[in-house]
Structure 1
Amino acid sequence: MQVLVTRPKPHNQQCVKTLQAFGYSAVAAPMVDIKASQQLAQLNTILAADSTVDLVIAVSQYAVESCQQFVQQQRLNWPSSLQYLAVGKATAECWQQYGVKALVPARQDSEGMLQLIDQQLQGVTRATILRGQQGREWLAQKLQAKGIEVSYVTCYQRNLISYSEQQLEHWRSQINTIIATSGEILKHLTTLTSTPMQRAWLKGVTLLVPSQRLLEYAKSLGFVHIVLCEGASDMAFINALAQISSSARNKNDQR
């Protein structure tokens, strides 16, 4: 099993090292580079003592880490008076490192976050979504329909990374499994593959994704062998790979 890890910098290399430590052959191929945004200064208002925000939602660990850098630079703190919601376990674990205990939905996507807010966070009137340049419009629209005022903080910028034709051909000859953590990554992958043979290879790999929404998007792009993992943490991918390997061994034993 040769695994292509496409998650963004700087977490890509850590994921590769973790997979290798568990005995998997993993190759680093980040599709996106993450850079902190200049709009982080908006956090000053949200984290102020007189803030009127009730709920802070982080859509990724990249949002948390970008914000944390600003929080430390400005010598601020995450107020204990606010409620915090993370899209998944990896994001919540990232926040926990900085003293923030965030709720995590059972279904780790926008639909899951909305359901959790409905069930556990009644009384929220103002929410702020920490995100990249765009995203989570569906969640914002649903919250606004419930009378909740929603604002965004653009925490980071995503810059697509290009790869040579030679590199793509090398992947085609070696890679049979891909880890992808966002629709943007999947879209970029399909854009990079320009030849019929490359496209056939890409659609034929085993694709590991962290959410139901991303699984559905992958299907719309033509992917066939898709595995839904329990979140976007490195261990979620390792557990999925272990299940794939176990299923393959069982099939071989039955022959």
Structure 2
Amino acid sequence: MVAEPAVLVTRPEREAEPWVQALQAEGVRAEAFPLIDISALPDPSALQAAWQQVPTCLAVMFVSANAVRFFMAAQPGGVHVQACRAWATGPGTQAALLAAGWPAQQIDAPPADSSQFDSEALWAVVAERVRAAQAPSPARVLIVRGADAQGQMAGRDWLAQQLEEAGLLVLQAVAYVRRAPVLSPAQQARAEQAMHDGSLWLFSSSEAALHLTQACPRLDLSQARALATHPRIAERLRQAGWGHVELVPAALSAQALSIKSLS
């Protein structure tokens, strides 16, 4: 009997292992292959300064659970979040906010059964509140995100554009650094094997796919199988030369069902 193909979960290590365990519990053969390294800022002073803006903001938008983790770790004494809303693009970020002590009634996020967890889904939830925001001066929203090793902010600006068009003032804060991992010889060999053994590479970020080809530039992607959790990621994978790309749901149970249907 031929074993079902493995699903390689490419999320950062802190998220990859729990996701692997959850997929395994759903009956999916999965293994962790982190392709994004996450680390703290070398100088937290700018992040601590950003915290001083929180009491003046309509909301703080977090792009990921890591944004929550590093931002909340920098919370100075005397600055509270009770009067400020938190925005999350998905259930992982929402769970991180709850674990960090942000009041549940102050969190806005797409429903758990949403087909996508992204800025568009979040905007559908918060747009009415944003348009109703009234203040003597423009309401403020602080967006907390990561940056690459060169300090360039990671992520899309789509939500910031919607907020600015609605008349709000958008502030940005970098909470952590995203880097390409250094793959061991064993990991490079596993990546090579996975290109032709039927393994399924699961990408929730096109940045992870870029890191893979940077670390292993000789990989032949023409027969490789990739799973993308968003249409934009799928398109970028196809443009990069991945031979077989399938779109799968972002929510775990639905994702597991989709993956099992492909095996």
Scaled to the shorter chain, the TM-score interval is 0.7 to 0.9
> Equivalent residues in 2 for 1:1-255 (5 A)?
1-37=5-41, 38=44, 39-47=46-54, 51-71=55-75, 74-75=76-77, 78-100=80-102, 101=104, 102-105=107-110, 106=114, 107-124=116-133, 125-133=139-147, 134=153, 135-163=155-183, 164=185, 165-174=188-197, 176-195=199-218, 198-202=220-224, 205-209=225-229, 211-223=230-242, 224-231=244-251, 236=252, 238-246=253-261
SS of 2:96's equivalent in the other structure is: helix
SS of 1:198's equivalent in the other structure is: coil
**CA distance change for structure 1 residues 212 and 109 in 2, over 3 Å: closer, same or farther?**
farther
TM-superposition CA deviations, 1:66-104 (whole Å, max 9, x none): 112223xx3466512112110112111221222323211
Structure 2: gaps of 5 or more residues: 134-138, 148-152
Answer yes or no: is the 8 Å Cα contact 1:10–1:33 preserved in 2: no
% of aligned pairs identical?
25
TM-superposition CA deviations, 1:12-39 (whole Å, max 9, x none): 2222233334443322211111112223
Using the alignment, how far apart are the partners of 2:80 and 2:195 within structure 1? 45
Which is helix-richer, 1 or 2?
A: 1
Cα distance, 1:142 vs structure 2: 2.5
**CA distance change for structure 1 residues 226 and 120 in 2, over 3 Å: closer, same or farther?**
farther
Query: How many corresponding residue pairs?
Result: 234
Using the alignment, how far apart are the partners of 1:200 and 1:158 within structure 2? 27
Using the alignment, how far apart are the partners of 2:95 and 2:77 within structure 1? 22
Answer yes or no: is the 8 Å Cα contact 1:42–1:153 preserved in 2: no
SS of 2:13's equivalent in the other structure is: coil
**Matching residue's letter, 1:45:** Q
SS of 2:211's equivalent in the other structure is: helix
**Matching residue's letter, 1:220:** Q
Runs of 4+ off more than 4 Å? 75-78
Structure 1: gaps of 5 or more residues: 249-255
Cα distance, 1:242 vs structure 2: 2.5
Using the alignment, how far apart are the partners of 1:179 and 1:56 within structure 2? 29
SS of 1:7's equivalent in the other structure is: coil
Q: Match of 1:253? A: none
SS of 1:139's equivalent in the other structure is: helix
Using the alignment, how far apart are the partners of 2:258 and 2:36 within structure 1? 28
